[in-house]
Amino acid sequence: MKENNVIHLRGMEFYGYHGVMPEEKITGQRFIVDMDIYPDVPLISGSDNIEFTVDYAEVYGVIKRCVEEEKYNLLETLAEQIVKEVMKRFSCTKIRVEVHKPNAPIPGMIRDISVELKRERKQ
C-alpha cells in the first residue's frame, strides 16, 4: 500500500498584479496561496534527510515567483501556472492549490474570492 503523505503550505502572502481591471495591473494587491503537495518520494521512518521529502522552502520560492513576477488577468491562470511550475520542479503525485484574492474589486461586501485547482500526475 502506498503511503499518502501530504505537505501543507498555508497562508503564503504575496503582492501581485493580477486582474482584469486596469488599476489592478498598476496598483496591485495582496494574494494568499494555500497548497497541498503529495510527495512522490518514499518517506523513510526515522530519516531526517531532506532528500526524502519535498523542500518546501524551494516550493515557496517557486510560488512567490509565479505570483510576484508575472501578470495574469484570471486567478485561474495564476493557479494553473503555480501548479505547472511546482509539478515541473518537484517530485509529487498530486497538488492542490488555492489562490485567494481578498480585495477583489467587486461591488459589494465579500470576505474573499478564491480559485482552487487539483491536479494529479498521470501514471
Q: What digits encode the pLDDT tens for the residues 17-60? A: 999 999 999 999 999 999 999 988 765 556 677 776 788 899 99
What pTM, to 2 d.p., does this model score? 0.89
Q: What digits encode the pLDDT tens for the residues 68-79? A: 999 999 999 999
The verdict on whether 101 is a catalytic residue reads yes
| Long-range contacts formed by 107-114: CB under 8 A, 24+ apart | 113/75, 114/75
Q: What digits encode the pLDDT tens for the residues 82-116? A: 999 999 999 899 999 999 999 898 889 889 999 99
What is the dihedral sign for C-alpha 81, 6, 33, 54?
Answer: negative
Identified catalytic residue from 25, 71, 88, 101: 101
Q: Are 117 and 66 in contact (CB under 8 A)?
A: no
Predicted confidence at residue 43, as pLDDT, reads 59
